[in-house]
A and B are shown apart, each in its own frame.
Chain A
Amino acid sequence: SQQGEEDPQALSIQEGENATMNCSYKTSINNLQWYRQNSGRGLVHLILIRSNEREKHSGRLRVTLDTSKKSSSLLITASRAADTASYFCATRNTGTASKLTFGTGTRLQVTL
């Protein structure tokens, strides 16, 4: 399977804390993306980092990419209850055109 692995599988934190989730993948990539999915809903694109980039920020999100280790991390700072969702990394692997390969996902629970 080309599927990426994410850890932790589940994460529970309190509002205001930071949440970090990690993604590892197996093949060379063009880019890596993070998506959020609220329970039973569609996925929403959060941020994209290209293979020649090492770090990217968007609002409270910070993404890092280490292509030598084939890994990425997503940091959500100052978390809110509304951040409760599942988070998936997805890679566009070289040579696969329109196809994304999704990681196994991290379920984040933010409590008040």
Chain B
Amino acid sequence: DTEVTQTPKHLVMGMTNKKSLKCEQHMGHRAMYWYKQKAKKPPELMFVYSYEKLSINESVPSRFSPECPNSSLLNLHLHALQPEDSALYLCASSQPLPDRFRGNIQYFGAGTRLSVL
């Protein structure tokens, strides 16, 4: 099973709402990632979790709050978002450490298309 599952597929929220994005993988990967992608742009890294601990925060505004409850699940809690936060949010997973043999190949979910009104 090489699947990363993201829910929901689409989300529309107002600027005062609180919502959560969910990501799940059962490949035994111990690194999980959140990316933000705007149209016709590459993915931008937001957060990296390694062994359920936050290892990288790319200076993301506090209205985005990640959580890794266990090795298979990754959440992104959203609160008081702005219209410019509308984007495709991608989750990915990989083996966590510098791995000379596997090279940090990342497996991506299909994404959540978020619209902030």
In this complex, how many residues of chain A approach chain B with their Cβ under 8 Å: the count is 24
In this complex, how many residues of chain B approach chain A with their Cβ under 8 Å: the count is 31
Within 8 A of B (CB), among A13-57: 30-31, 33, 35, 40-45, 48, 50
- CA separation between A92 and B42, bound complex, in Å? 15
Q: How far is the CB of B42 from chain A (nearest CB, A)?
A: 4
Give the residue of B41, B105, B109, B113 whose beta carbon is less than 8 angstroms from that of A45: B105
CB-defined interface of B90-102 with A at 8 Å, one 1/0 digit per residue? Answer: 1010101110100
Say yes or no for A58: interface residue by CB 8 A criterion.
Answer: no
Q: Report whether A100 and B106 are in contact in the complex, using a CB–CB cutoff of 8 Å.
A: yes
Interface of A (DSSP majority class): strand
Q: Report whether A43 and B104 are in contact in the complex, using a CB–CB cutoff of 8 Å.
A: no
- CA separation between A44 and B111, bound complex, in Å? 12
Listed stretches B12-20, B43-51, B63-71, B77-85; interface member: B43-51
- CA separation between A50 and B98, bound complex, in Å? 13
- CA separation between A41 and B33, bound complex, in Å? 16
Q: Which residues of A contact B48 (CB under 8 A)?
A: 98-99
Interface hub of A31, A42, A102, A104 (most chain B Cβ within 10 A): A42
Q: Report whether A97 and B97 are in contact in the complex, using a CB–CB cutoff of 8 Å.
A: yes
7 A-B contacts (beta carbon < 8 Å): A30-B100, A31-B103, A42-B90, A43-B90, A97-B50, A98-B33, A102-B43
